[in-house]
Each structure stands twice: as C-alpha cells, then as structure tokens.
Amino acid sequence: MTYNIEVSRQNTYQDSRFSQEALNQHGCFLVNQEVPYEVRIISSNCAIITGSNPDDYLAVIDEFRFNAEHISEFYDNKEQLIAQFETKVLRTIPISEIQPSQFYINQDKYLAVDSFINTAEDVIIPVTKDKHGGYIAIDGHSRLKVAFDKGISTVLVYESQADAYIFDFVQEAKSRQIESISDMSVLSHADYQSKWIDYCTDYFKK
C-alpha cells in the first residue's frame, strides 16, 4: 500500500522524544522526519501504537511490520483495535540450527535487547530456508546472540520471504566461518559501522 507520508525508523537507543521501552524494542518512528510515533510490543502478537495523528497509524504499522510480521494486532493507548493481520505460525527451534545472514552484532543494540530478553518466548524472529531445508535468520541476530549468551537454547521463528541478497550474505558469512550465532562477534558501534554497515553499502552499490 502507498501512503502520502514518509515514515522512517529511528536507529538509536537514546532520544528524549521516545520512551526507553520503545527505543530498546526498535519501535520508534518519525513521520515526515519530525513527528514521533511509537510501537511497543506487549505480547507475542500484539503491540500498542501511539502518536499525534491516528490517520498515520497504518503507514507506521506497515513500516514496523517489515521485519515483525508476527505482530498481528495493533491497539491505540485506549485499547481500541487499530489493525489486524493474519496470524503467523510460530515454531520452536534450537538456536544452534540457525544460520546467520549477518557477520557482526552492534554492541548498542545488544545492550538494548538484553533489557527485555529473559526466556525463549521473548525471541521471535523471521527465517527462511536454504536449499537443504536449513534455517536462515533474516533478522533478529542481536536477539539471538543475547538469548544464546544467556543460556537460552531455543527460540520461536516464523517463515518469511527473503530477498536474494540474504543468500549472498549467507554465502559470505560461511566464507568467514560464521555458521552459527556463537560465531558472531559483538562490536562497538564504530566498528560495527565500518565492518558491517559499510560492507552492506558497498554490496548494494554493485
């Protein structure tokens, strides 16, 4: 669906315009680069959306669900249902069976995610399958790493469509001996920028 507004997710964990809970969940957005909106996950499939103009809620929800398709019900702060989507089928699998599609973890994000991950049920990520039926993480690497480091052995996943670049990233990850979450290194924000974000920028320039 096309909207007549610009919605951008805020990739920061310190911003006085948003609650810390929403910042840690990576659920903060600006509409037209200035108006703040929040999406806060409150259960495995529900979230609350807040912001100044309810007419913009659907556009924000659409952006939020790009890598959070398991969130199927959205409410305003008066508990009124705003939008509802098809429920994703979740399954439990071992973290050890998931192939990363990234190489590194951002320490800032790792610390933010650490604030709300305590059990296997706190980690729900999108995956796709390789040609042998193995699971590939499309997103959620920080959540997987935190869970692994906390001794959590399984997580919840749902299958989703993956763009072709994901499989290129997996091939490169394997060439770097990154074949499980345990192989991923946590880097400072600056090192993450130079080693991962710059890699992605160069890849998409090709």
Q: Which of 51, 84, 117 is the last residue of a domain?
A: 84
What is the arithmetic mean of pLDDT over 160-168?
97
* Number of domains present in the structure of the chain: 2
Residues 94 and 67 in one domain: no
pLDDT tens digits for range 82-94: 999 999 999 999 9
Does the pLDDT value for residue 67 go beyond 90? no
pLDDT on residue 2: 79
Residue with tokens 């993956």: 162
pTM of the predicted model as reported, rounded to 2 decimal places:
0.90
Residues 130 and 31 in one domain: no
What is the arithmetic mean of pLDDT over 176-194?
98
Whether the CB-CB separation of 46 and 65 falls below 8 Å is answered with no
102 vs 172: CA distance, rounded Å: 9
Q: Tell me whether strands 154-159 and 124-129 are parallel, antiparallel or unpaired.
A: parallel
- Structural domain that includes position 159: 90-205
Q: Which of 24, 49, 84 is the last residue of a domain?
A: 84
Percent of the chain's residues with pLDDT above 90? 98
